[in-house]
Amino acid sequence: MGRLFIRRAYYPGSGEWEALCSRPETSYEDVRMSVDRIMDTVRSQGDSALFTYEKEFDKAYLQTLEISMEERDRFIVETGILMSDDLKEALSVAARNIRTFHEAQMPFPQRVETMPGVTCWRKSVPLEKVGIYIPGGTAPLFSTVLMLAVPASIAGCKEIILCTPPSPNGTVHPAILYAARLAGVTRIFTVGGAQAIAAMAYGTESVPRCHKVLGPGNTYVTYAKQRASMDGTAIDMPAGPSEVMVLADGTARPDFVAVDLLSQAEHGSDSQAILVLVEPDTVKADAFLDYVDTWLERMAGESGRLGYISSSLGHSRAIVVKKMAEAVGIANLYAAEHLIIQTEMPVDYEKEITNAGSIFLGSWSPESAGDYASGTNHTLPTGGWAHSYSGVSLDTFYKKITVQELSREGLERLAPTIVAMAEGEGLQAHAQAVRTRMNLLRETIPQGGKT
């Protein structure tokens, strides 16, 4: 088979880090026209366009787009062979952990008196309708159903709409249906691809218009979400190919490192896996990377997804540095979706990480734990967006509204400040809104009197 992990960089200067942290180029030019056409057609033709596109792209000749509650239960029973008791139990455990972690994020309003008589606070209001997209291509991502719908349910979203592509016979994977029932999804539609994003963004006769659209997908789905955001529908975050960075030193196990790299590489051919090894001795570094290569070859052949892995590792790399400070610097520059720290004292370095979607500490914290069942959310910023974006959390499903209440005395104290600033900006009506109230106070309150 030959070594999968081809590229190695030894002791690069800081000026070389940016090039080594480059990601595979993703161009939407080849999909832009197609997605724009789909989005515009769904917007103008509604359900009719969805039936047409499902026939064209998913080879599904549908009579209806929505799966009723009764149909959900029937599909689960009829395809029970695909839903083992072990899988049902696993989904239940994962849902419970995800719920526990996200319930701890419940917001509590804090009232602040900024000055006597001036009270301010902020309230969290759940989004009424959210749409989640679950891909059905290379793998049925039923775990993402839990990651998105569980916190939406905790937040109190009234409608949680799920769209996922159907099989040619019009059904979806039973584990997706089972997870949807566990997580509190209210409605499910058999619609996939860019047309599903359009349906949730614009609304059709069957699919409600959603206030926010979330979920992963291929380049068509990714661009469709970007287009939806430009048209006024909120999205969870910019998305791109999945990625992992592993920081390791000589205490790390090469087989653990290799399997963590592979677990991300198997997501797709455009995924990226980067290893940063802290080892000042070149001979020892070579020996470690040779071990990693050996394990990569061995485990990649057993994965059943060798095509994706080979392509993904083709634009992945190993970077060898002399000091942990350099490894941390590279990690903060790259801003990985998943950052695994397999070093002697990982907690010491976690404090220095400022850019990452999710961090996994130590040899016993594989990235797959966060992907499925530890409780943290696996919907994370990719493509370097971890510099400025957070992963999905309970806050994702709230909007924040500020409130202020001023007493007469409070406004009287604050009036000179407001008037001076309004006049300074040349906004006389703003100043007059305060003066009018102050004039009323002078007319109704006798000199030296109190209300």
| Binding site as annotated, residues for NAD(+) | 133, 195, 218
* Residue (of 271, 277, 266, 276) closest to 242 by Cα position: 271
Specify binding-site residues for substrate.
242, 264, 267, 338, 371, 425, 430
Assess whether 338 carries a catalytic annotation.
Answer: yes
* CA dihedral angle for residue 323, residue 327, residue 329, residue 335, rounded to 10 degrees: -170
Write out the binding residues for Zn(2+): 264, 267, 371, 430
Phi-psi region of 348 (alpha: psi -120 to 50; beta: other; left: phi over 0): alpha
Amino acid at 208: P
> Which residues are CB-contacts of 79 (< 8 A; sequence separation ≥ 6)?
171, 174
DSSP class per residue in 403-442:
EEEE-HHHHHHHHHHHHHHHHHTT-HHHHHHHHHHHHHHH
Cα–Cα dist 68/378, whole Å? 28
Cα-based torsion angle of the residue sequence 386, 389, 395, 396 in order, rounded to the nearest 10 degrees = -100
| Catalytic residue chosen out of the listed positions 173, 211, 315, 338 | 338
List, as residue ranges, the binding site. 133, 195, 218, 242, 264, 267, 338, 371, 425, 430
Query: For residue 121, what is the enclosing H or E element?
Result: strand 118-126
Rounded to whole angstroms, how far apart are CA atoms 244 and 246?
A: 7
Marked catalytic residue, from 266, 326, 337, 367: 337
378 is catalytic: no
Active-site residue list: 337-338
